[in-house]
């Protein structure tokens, strides 16, 4: 696979200069790029590394003096991160799955698979499942009964879609994804320690329980179009109502979405973040790494929850929340600064107490 500079610029929607006929076969870091590469030097901190490599072509920021860098051609990136997305598509190394259905795959009677499918070894599709056209399903995946999935499905090895799930078009499930597992719902025969602690703030011997009864999940999962789930992420089915995820939402690896949760459109849930049962999240919300949302919480649209923030109260739209307990980010930063000053303030207070004590003794 190779592209001329002109072809590459056109595909990226960018401007180019220099020898537009030069061809490149892959992107590379500036310091390691050879003559066959396009060097990724969109930001100033990477431009200086071009001297350590042998690139003839680079993607640089607008206004960069590319000729002074010894390049023969340059592509100008108005927004470096967005250019990275385009480069990733152009030079993608697609998952290899042989066309057709592998002999070891089990497609039960009553399952429907659209035209152009590529289904790998040891895949299991249960009765009543319906999958759209051009599905690509890797080895050791399973799709439950009566599950309906749209066109252009892509499942990486070991992904599992449970029964009675509804998924839109262009869904991507990375390695080990789980959609439609039972929710974490258990109840003790009599009020237990958690209930007593919530009501009284204490735990007594009377609240000890000998065990828990399972509350089975009878709902399903409904996922919109263009949703991607990262490796080993999980979305549980609802207890009675469905768990829902809106169009364009992306889940990173090891993200957990509990039962009955509703997540809006175009949200980002970063690694190890979690949403507990029955919480509702609006559109365009970002949960940074290890952010946690307690159960039955409502979060508005256009909210950013910073890394390791714990949310245990409702959050209105348009807020940036930080810390545990969560506060608006500017307040949390000031609290952190004040906390850093406490040792110094304590030392000053102790010195003042000594002076007052000595003055009292003298009198």
Structure tokens at 320: 């940036």
Residues paired with 311 in a beta bridge: 293
Name the DSSP class of 124.
E
Percent helix, strand and coil across the chain, each to the nearest 5? 20, 30, 50
Task: Give the whole-angstrom CA distance, residue 292 versus residue 50.
Answer: 41
User: Do 5 and 19 meet the contact criterion of CB atoms below 8 Å apart?
Assistant: yes
Is 266 a residue of the active site? no
Give the chain's radius of gyration (CA, Å): 28
Name the DSSP class of 206.
G
Exactly one of 140, 160, 164, 259 is catalytic; name it: 259
N residues, the chain: 363
Nearest-CA neighbor of 42 among 89, 93, 85, 7?
A: 85
Tell me the three state secondary structure of residue 161.
strand
- Output phi, psi for 164, to 5 deg: 60, 40
C-alpha pair distances (Å), 342 with each of 159, 237, 348, 359: 50, 47, 10, 25
Residue positions annotated with a catalytic role: 259
């Amino acid at each position: 696979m190779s592209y001329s500079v002109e072809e590459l610029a056109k595909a990226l929607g960018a401007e180019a200069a220099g020898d537009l006929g030069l061809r490149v076969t892959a992107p590379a870091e500036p310091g390691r790029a050879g003559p066959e590469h396009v060097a990724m030097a969109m930001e100033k901190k990477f431009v200086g590394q071009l001297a350590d490599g042998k690139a003839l072509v680079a993607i640089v920021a607008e206004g960069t003096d590319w000729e002074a860098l010894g390049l023969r051609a340059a592509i100008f990136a108005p927004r470096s991160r967005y250019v990275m997305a385009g480069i990733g598509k152009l030079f993608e190394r697609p998952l290899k799955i042989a066309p057709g259905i592998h002999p070891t795959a089990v497609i039960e009677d009553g399952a429907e698979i659209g035209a152009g499918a590529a289904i790998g070894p040891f895949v299991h599709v249960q009765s009543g499942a319906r999958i759209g056209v051009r599905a690509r399903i890797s080895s050791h995946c399973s799709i439950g009964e009566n599950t309906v999935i749209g066109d252009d499905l892509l499942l990486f090895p070991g992904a599992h879609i449970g029964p009675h799930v509804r998924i839109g078009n262009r869904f991507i499930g990375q390695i080990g994804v789980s959609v439609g597992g039972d929710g974490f719902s258990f109840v003790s025969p009599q009020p237990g320690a958690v209930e007593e602690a919530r009501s009284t703030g204490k735990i007594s011997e009377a609240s000890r329980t000998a065990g828990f009864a399972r509350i089975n999940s009878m709902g399903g999962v409904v996922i919109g179009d263009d949703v991607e789930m990262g490796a080993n992420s999980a979305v549980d089915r609802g207890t009675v109502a469905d768990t829902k995820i809106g169009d364009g939402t992306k889940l990173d690896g090891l993200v957990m979405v509990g039962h009955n949760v509703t997540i809006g459109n175009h949200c980002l849930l970063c690694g190890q973040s979690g949403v507990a049962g029955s919480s509702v999240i609006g559109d365009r919300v970002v949960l940074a790494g290890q952010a946690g949302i307690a159960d039955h919480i409502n979060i508005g649209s256009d909210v950013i929850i910073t890394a390791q923030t714990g949310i245990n109260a409702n959050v209105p739209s348009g807020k940036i929340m930080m810390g545990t307990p969560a506060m608006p980010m500017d307040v949390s930063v000031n609290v952190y600064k004040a906390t850093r000053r406490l040792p110094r303030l304590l030392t000053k207070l102790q010195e003042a107490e000594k002076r007052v004590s000595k003055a009292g003794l003298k009198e």
